[in-house]
């Protein structure tokens, strides 16, 4: 058993615990607050607007409880094995800046996408697209100017297709 397996088991446990919290929030807060049951449904019907979401919530709850149990067992097992092999005391090699940036890259790009979305909402497609393209390309480490040009041409072509062929009035 390696430290990687131990880390994986720990991550799985954390994920399942977060899922448990989310399912609890769904069952005890989201469904009761966001689904109102009309009086007529309460009086006459066994299948109210809440029935199906509750059914799904309960199935999810069963799943996450099973998942929690499995994750706890796997974590305890992995921890014991890792402790036995002594790899828990080993110091992990320090990550280089390049590796750290690679790890957070999806989040950085996602932030740009969110900003792009806000831009589209406020000022339309053209200016945010003009800004998004170099921002994304620079972020992912692209230095070739030709690539910037290709993407601008592609984006312009797509804009034209949506605007004039598909008749979508992009803002």
Q: CA 28 to CA 23: how far, in whole Å?
A: 9
Q: Give the residue with the Cβ less far from another protein, 5 or 35.
A: 35
* Residue 119 dihedral angles phi and psi, to the nearest 5°: -60, -45
- With tokens 């397996």, the residue in question is 5
Counting Cβ atoms within 10 Å, is residue 144 exposed (0-12), middle (13-18) or buried (19+)? Answer: exposed
Q: CA 171 to CA 125: how far, in whole Å?
A: 6
Q: CA 114 to CA 108: how far, in whole Å?
A: 10
CB of 89 to another protein, least distance (A): 28
Size (the chain), residues: 171
Piece in contact with another protein (CB under 8 A), picked from 76-84, 87-95, 127-135: 127-135
- Name which of residues 78 to 97 contact another protein (CB under 8 A): none
Q: Give the residue with the Cβ less far from another protein, 28 or 150.
A: 150
Q: Does 35 bind another protein (CB under 8 A)?
A: yes
Q: Give the residue with the Cβ less far from another protein, 34 or 83.
A: 34
C-beta neighbour count of 85 within 10 angstroms: 14
Contacting residues toward another protein, per CB under 8 A: 11, 15, 19, 26, 30-31, 34-38, 40-41, 45-49, 52-53, 56-57, 59-60, 63-64, 66-67, 70, 98, 101-103, 105-106, 108-110, 113-114, 116-117, 120-121, 125, 129, 132-133, 136-137, 139-142, 147, 150-151, 154-155, 158-159, 161-162, 165-171
């Amino acid at each position: 058993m390696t430290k990687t397996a131990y880390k994986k088991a720990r991550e799985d446990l954390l994920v399942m615990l977060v899922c448990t919290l989310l399912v609890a929030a769904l069952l005890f807060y989201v469904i009761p607050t966001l689904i109102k049951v009309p009086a007529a449904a309460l009086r006459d019907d066994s299948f109210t607007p809440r029935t199906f979401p509750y059914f799904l919530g309960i199935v999810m709850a069963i799943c996450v409880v099973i998942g929690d149990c499995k994750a706890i067992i796997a974590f305890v097992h992995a921890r014991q094995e890792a402790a036995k092999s002594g790899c828990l005391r080993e110091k992990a090699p320090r990550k280089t800046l390049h590796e750290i940036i690679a790890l957070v890259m999806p989040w950085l790009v996602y932030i740009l996408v969110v900003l792009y979305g806000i831009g589209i909402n406020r000022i339309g497609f053209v200016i945010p697209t003009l800004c998004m393209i170099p921002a994304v390309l620079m972020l992912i480490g692209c230095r070739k100017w030709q690539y910037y040009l290709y993407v601008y041409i592609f984006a312009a072509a797509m804009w034209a297709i949506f605007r004039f062929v598909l008749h979508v009035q992009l803002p």
